[in-house]
Structure 1
Amino acid sequence: MALPVDAGAGMVLPPPDPITPRQAVDDVLLILMQIRHKLKTMIDWYIYPEIIPNEIQAYDPRLVILQQRLRSMATLSYPQLPYLIDNSDVIAAQYLTVIVSQLLNSVHGIQKIFMNHYDRDLEDSRPFATIWETLNYRIEQLNQIPNLNPNNPRRLRPEDLRANELGNFCRGALQISNNRDKGRLSFVDKKDLLDEERRKLKAFGGAFLNWECPECAYKVRYHVASSVTSNIHSTDEIREHDGVAVQYRSSFAAKCHLYLPLSEKAKASMSTSSTNTRRDSNILGAVVKYGCVFCFARGRQLERGDSAFTTARDLVEHIDHEHRNPLPPSMMLHRFLVAVEGKTHDEWKRWDLNFV
Structure 2
Amino acid sequence: MQHINLKNKTIFITGVAGFIGSNLALELLKTQSPINIVGLDNINDYYDVRIKEWRLTQIEKCISEFPESKYTFIRGELSDKTTIENIFKNFRPNIVVNLAAQAGVRYSISNPDAYIQANIIGFYNILEACRHSYDDGAIGVEHLVYASSSSVYGTNKKIPYSVEDKVDNPVSLYAATKKSNELMAHAYSKLYNIPSTGLRFFTVYGPAGRPDMAYFGFTNKLVKGEKIQIYNYGNCKRDFTYIDDIVEGIKLVLQGPPEKKRGEDGLPIPPYAIYNIGNNHPENLLDFVNILQQELVRANILPEDYDFEAHKELLPMQPGDVPITYADVSALEKDFGFKPSTSLKNGLRAFAEWYKNFYV
**TM bracket (short chain):** under 0.3
Higher relative helix content:
1
Q: Which has the bigger relative contact order, CA under 8 A and spacing at least 6?
A: 2
Higher relative strand content:
2
* TM-score, normalised relative to structure 2: 0.25
Give 1 or 2 for the bigger CA radius of gyration: 1
